Amino acid sequence: MKKTALVVCPGRGTYNKPELGYITQHLTDKALLQQFDSVRQERNLTTISELDQLPVFNRSQHLKAENAAGLIFAAGVSDYQSINSEQFDVVAVTGNSMGWYTALGCAGVLAPDTGMQLVIDMAQLTAGGAGAQFIYPVIDENWQPDPQRIALVQQQLAQHQDELYMSIVYGGYAVLAGTETAVKSAIAALPPCDDRFPLLLPGHAGFHTRLMQSASDKALNLWPAQQFSQPKLPLIDGKGHIWPALGSSLSALQHYTLQHQVCQTYDFSLALQTAVKEFAPEHIILLGPGGALGGAVAQSLIQINWQGIGSKQDFVAAQQAGLPYILSMGLPEQRVHCV
């Protein structure tokens, strides 16, 4: 008997050195890869095949905006098509930040080649934008909310009003973005923790803030609503709004995709929480590349005590009991349950 599943698509920064060769290794539909490569050849960009099959990971090449976005979109759509349809009934799809574009591709709003064109355009338009982005934890070691860290983040947002913004609500982490001056000041002011944070995200601009307004305006001119199709699956966006299958306003979907989510906070936690409440999936399948999305998903579930998961220990126990509730296709030991 099929199990219901929510599919979640990762955002930028998920194709790194360990993921080199991921697409070639797992791709089952060669025609899909040819579509992606053709789009990029027409744009005089390095193909997905070539990038994924390079002998060594090259940061300047692989992390270049239009290359990183293309690799992540290609890996995500390919993984989605690899899900065993005899084992899983996908009931809804969502994503984190750039993962929204992948979600549109999975739900049929954008054909694979059209989706590749969109992620290239958005990567190029936003890469030239001003500002910077960094991440800071607002939870403790048990993945419970840390009131002190939350207060410190709010203090920085208040202190740098109209220059620093909540970019992404990402489970137990706050992703902040804004002008380079405000970001530099906030990073210096926030107490270091976990030997990593505050962590500046290299190559990231002021995503999901007003600093992206120019990119948004250009995207709206480039991408009319007619380029979008009706979703074949329900989509949950970064406001926690559900776009129903075959019943969504394409003009509204265009404006959300190219305007709101480009220039306003992306609340990934709310998207995930809305999805599980409304669709009650038996499993959550995380598309590749990478496996970093699992922590944020688990932390978002802990915030609402979903299925009794109220702490890191609860989550670990749930994952170890039989078939894991959350299945990450970027982890070989979990991927085998999905394909």
Task: Verify that 262 and 330 share a domain, yes or no.
Answer: yes
Residue 107 has pLDDT above 80, yes or no: yes
Nearest to 291 by CA among 93, 63, 75, 25: 75
pLDDT, residue 78, reads 98
Of 204, 222, 244, the one marking the end of a domain is 204
pLDDT, residue 66, reads 96
Task: Verify that 57 and 177 share a domain, yes or no.
Answer: no
Task: Verify that 294 and 253 share a domain, yes or no.
Answer: yes
Q: Give pLDDT tens digits for 266-289.
A: 999 999 999 999 999 999 999 999
Residue 166 has pLDDT above 90, yes or no: yes
pLDDT, residue 284, reads 98
pLDDT, residue 321, reads 75
Q: Give pLDDT tens digits for 210-265.
A: 999 999 999 999 999 999 999 999 999 999 999 999 999 999 999 999 999 999 99
Task: Verify that 180 and 248 share a domain, yes or no.
Answer: no
pLDDT, residue 271, reads 98
Task: Verify that 114 and 46 share a domain, yes or no.
Answer: yes
Of 204, 235, 258, the one marking the end of a domain is 204
Q: Which domain holds residue 182?
A: 132-204
Per DSSP, the three-state class of 1 is: coil
Residue 318 has pLDDT above 90, yes or no: no
Query: Residue 207: CB partners within 8 Å, gap ≥ 6?
Result: 12, 97, 126, 129, 133, 167, 168, 177, 262
Is residue 8 within 8 A of residue 95, CB to CB? The reply is yes
Of 142, 172, 204, the one marking the end of a domain is 204
Task: Verify that 48 and 157 share a domain, yes or no.
Answer: no
Task: Verify that 199 and 98 share a domain, yes or no.
Answer: no
DSSP string, 166-186: EEEEETTEEEEEE-HHHHHHH
Task: Verify that 10 and 44 share a domain, yes or no.
Answer: yes
| Mean of per-residue pLDDT scores for the chain | 96
Q: Whole-model pTM above 0.95?
A: yes
pLDDT, residue 126, reads 93
Task: Verify that 184 and 322 share a domain, yes or no.
Answer: no
Task: Verify that 157 and 34 share a domain, yes or no.
Answer: no
Residue 322 has pLDDT above 90, yes or no: no
Residue 130 has pLDDT above 90, yes or no: no
Is residue 71 within 8 A of residue 51, CB to CB? The reply is yes
Separation of CA 85 from chain center: 23
Task: Verify that 268 and 167 share a domain, yes or no.
Answer: no
Residue 128 has pLDDT above 80, yes or no: no
Amino acid at 70: G
Residue 127 has pLDDT above 80, yes or no: yes
Structural domains counted in the chain: 2
Q: Give pLDDT tens digits for 18-75.
A: 999 999 999 989 999 999 999 999 999 999 999 999 999 999 999 999 999 999 999 9
Percent of the chain with pLDDT over 70: 100
164: CATH:
3.30.70
Task: Verify that 73 and 88 share a domain, yes or no.
Answer: yes
Is residue 175 within 8 A of residue 168, CB to CB? The reply is yes
pLDDT, residue 28, reads 84
42: CATH:
3.40.366.10
